[in-house]
Structure 1
Amino acid sequence: MILKNIVGLLSPGGPRGRLSILIFHRVLTQPDPLFPGEPDVARFDEIMGWVAKWFQVLPLDQAVAQLRTGTLPARAAAITFDDGYADNATNALPVLKRHGMSATFFVATSFLDGGRMWNDTLIEAIRGCSAESLDLTQAGFGSFRLGSVAEKRMAIDHLLKAIKYLDPDKRNEAVALVQRVTAATLPDDLMMTSGQVLHLRNAGMQIGAHTCTHPILASLPDDEARTEIMSSKLVLESLLKEPVSLFAYPNGKPDKDYLAKHAEMVRQAGFTAAVSTAAGVSSSATDVFQLPRFTPWDQTRLRYGIRLALNLRDVTPRIA
């Protein structure tokens, strides 16, 4: 009750309303030793129970509309998922329905129906490598011990950072090299099928666009960036037979992953709102094409709630 009251004071309704937008990616069937911070079903259920007590969770499009008109309810929040992982449909959806919540799922359309994102190719290649070490010195990435979970996690972290901002072609070459050297068998069911996207929508969830191939928009020529934005919208609208009005920037850091011109491209493409990964909370003064998102990493109820409450104080614009 105390945390609920604090959230209510920091997030009043009406013209002074503030919108908290939470961001998730996956909800695992069981904990993953390589990524202990990624919630499994039990953990996600626990978090949603907390959020349900402290906030009034709204569909994102409704929340944005009310933010614009100054009619948000007190303690307003929205829940989002990025990328389009299959466990969003199999694991997250039942939990959301149990708590009576809606969420928006931002889908990178090129990976539907058996595709795999480059970072997951790298992660699963390292996970499935049976060798005790990995030598990538000739490619300029160094060598790594892989004898333990901790060593594999260190290798993954290093390689993700080293490869993430490469030119897309060079990034794909680097990931293909890791896959080839590790000789690991990789999964082809990490991302949603088209049917699962439809299932989410039919269950009352919202679907948003997240580009086609999840590129760093800031690294692309303008025509390619525009195509990534618009094509993802068209693919989803063709699948869903309805307008897609919400967009999430891949990676999402303003002035690093996307620029002001990309926010304008999103507006021109016909979206009504877009979300970044900058921390903070939205007020009536926030650019609806650069809405911030934040999810705490704390493990206990009290710390998680305090972190969300502290975020409610952060209305500093972080825009491109």
Structure 2
Amino acid sequence: MSVKYLAIRALFEALWLSRLPGLIRALSSSRGVIFTLHRVLPEEPADFSPNAILQVQPAFLEYVIERVRDIGLDIVSLDEALDRLAAPHAGRRFVVLTFDDAYRDNLRHALPILRRHEAPFTLYVPTALVDGVGELWWQAIEDIIGRQEAIAMTSGGETDYVDTRTTTEKRAAFDTLYWQMRRMPEAERVQLVRSFAHAYGYDLDKQCRDLIMDWQELRLFAGEPLCTIGAHTVHHYELAKLPIEQASSEMAQSADILLAQFGQKPTHFSYPLGGPLSAGPREFELARELGFKSAVTTRPGGLYGRHAKSPHSLPRVSLNGYFQSRRYVDVFATGAIFSAMGKLTG
């Protein structure tokens, strides 16, 4: 675990021991929190699993639902959350559950829990991934590095061979390659991950089909009355890297495809990756112009009355796979803590 996450864990421990989250919730003007989730898997991650940050275990998800209700928070849909934010007087505080990317494990492991607890949720769908033709590149580079003892890394026209025998070496290689790809224009990143996967016999299309629901499965998921389907672009590109016309097309086409599949056009949107490098004022304005009622980032923070006037840049709190301790749930549910953290790190 990185120094950053060790520091966050120490902060969470201190907050839990102090019992401050309950007091902060009572005194704060934060009205609610939107939780970000991705994968729900019963297995413990391997020692080298940099993407374990994106997965929680079913038992933890179930405890989160039970605990937030125990401390007096409602679990509501996004539409209900927007209505509560727009209300002149703060009512009961709330939590919104959101899942990004349409992973198949959501159908297998999350949906039964959500149904059992009658917990509404939103699923944000990148349509090319459901078609089975997208790249879950962050998982692909983990998988490739995980099974290799050395990899070739190309940058600036030069190729270096990097040892990946140990977990430490694998993590260093992953971090280097991940951030190389994050800094690239999307077309170059797609070309690099495709060539990298080809060099090591890794089938990106099969990976996508294995990990993401197909349209038949997604139709079962979307048919659940508790579910709200949201748009998440076509190709899961970082929109801030794209020309404005392409960014707008990625957003609009994803909504149109979901309309064609389900007969209802989504009114909520999630920016892929969602941080400052991936979405900013230009993208927030595009979401507004395209008619979405809301759009969520991955910037940390709670929801306040002011967000009713800026619903296209909503913050979220990640249910981080590195922090699956029951005693941290009270911290996760306290939006004001993450608003303060966002100001310190932003």
**Change over 3 Å in CA distance of 1:47–1:172 after alignment to 2:** same
Q: Give 1:51's aligned residue.
A: 68
Greater Cα shift, 69-78 or 222-231: 69-78
Aligned partner letter, 1:108: P
The 5-angstrom pairing of residues 219-238 of structure 1 reads 219-238=241-260
Deviations 1:117-141 (A, max 9, x none): 23233233333x3x42112257557
Q: Taking structure 2 as the reference length, what is the TM-score of the superposition?
A: 0.80
Rounded Cα–Cα distance in structure 1 between residues aligned with 2:69 and 2:178: 34
Alignment pair present for 1:289 and 2:326: no
Q: Name 1:262's counterpart in structure 2.
A: 283
Structure 1 residues 312 and 98: alpha-carbon distance in aligned structure 2, compared to 1, 3 A threshold: farther
Sort the Cα spacing of 1:73 and 1:171 in 2 relative to 1 into closer, same or farther, 3 A: same
Q: Which runs of structure 2 are paired with 1:76-91 in the superposition (5 Å)? A: 76-91=94-109
User: Which of 97, 109, 113 is the equivalent residue of 1:95?
Assistant: 113
Aligned to 1:245: 267
Shift of 1:210: 0.6
Separation in structure 2 between the aligned mates of residue 135 and residue 226 of structure 1, nearest angstrom: 36
| Structure 1 residue 143 displacement after superposition | 3.4
Paired letter, 1:43: F
**Shift in CA distance, 313/132, structure 1 to aligned 2, threshold 3 Å:** closer
Structure 1 runs of 4+ aligned residues shifted over 4 Å read: 2-5, 137-142, 315-318
3-state SS of the aligned residue for 1:189?
helix
Query: Residue 309 in 1 paired to residue 331 in 2?
Result: no
Identity of aligned residues (%): 26
Aligned equivalents of 1:249 and 1:222: distance in 2? 14
Q: 1:137 and 1:261 mapped to 2: Cα distance?
A: 32
Instruction: Give the corresponding residue for 1:124.
Output: 143
Q: Aligned equivalents of 1:4 and 1:52: distance in 2?
A: 15
| Corresponding residue of 1:300 | 325
Using the TM superposition, name which of 175-184 and 144-153 deviates more. 144-153
| Aligned position for 1:24 | 37
TM-score by length of 1: 0.86
Q: Please tell me whether the aligned partners of residues 239 and 272 of structure 2 are also in contact (alpha carbons under 8 angstroms).
A: yes
Report the number of matched residues: 311
Q: 1:95 to 1:277 in 2, by over 3 A?
A: same
| Amino acid corresponding to residue 142 of structure 2 in structure 1 | I
2:238 counterpart (200, 216, 221): 216
Q: What is the rounded CA distance, in whole Å, between the counterparts of 1:206 and 1:71 in structure 2?
A: 26
**Distance (whole Å) between structure 1 residues aligned to residue 107 and residue 159 of structure 2:** 36
Q: 1:303 to 1:43 in 2, by over 3 A?
A: closer
Q: Which runs of 5+ in 1 are unaligned?
A: none
Q: Greater helix share, 1 or 2?
A: 2
Code of the residue aligned with 1:124 in structure 2: it is: D
Contact 2:151–2:164, Cα closer than 8 Å, also in 1: yes
> SS at 2:318's partner residue?
coil
Match of residue 175 from structure 1 = 193
Deviation at 1:104, TM superposition (A): 0.5
**Aligned partners of 1:110 and 1:213 also within 8 Å:** yes
C-alpha distance 295-172 of structure 1, shift in aligned 2 (>3 A): closer
The verdict on how the C-alpha distance between 1:219 and 1:61 changes in structure 2, with shifts beyond 3 A counting, is same
Distance 1:78 1:142, change over 3 A: farther
Q: Is residue 17–residue 70 contact of structure 1 (8 Å, CA) maintained in 2?
A: no
The letter of the residue matching 2:325 is T
- Residue in structure 1 matched with residue 223 of structure 2 by the alignment: 202
Change (3 A) 1:300 1:183: same
Measure how far apart 1:142 and its partner are. Answer: 4.2
Higher relative contact order (CA 8 A, sep 6+): 2
Counterpart contact for 1:252–1:278, Cα < 8 Å? yes
Please report the RMSD computed on the Cα atoms of aligned residues, expressed in angstroms.
2.7
Cα deviation, residue 75, structure 1: 2.3
Quickly say closer, same or farther: Cα 1:84–1:74, change in 2 above 3 A. Answer: same
SS of the equivalent of 2:114 reads helix
Q: Unpaired runs of 5+ in structure 2?
A: 1-18
Report how far residue 18 of structure 1 moved: 1.2
The residue type paired with residue 119 of structure 1 is W
Deviates more, 1:71-80 or 1:100-109: 71-80
1:81 to 1:296, Cα distance in 2 relative to 1, 3 A: closer
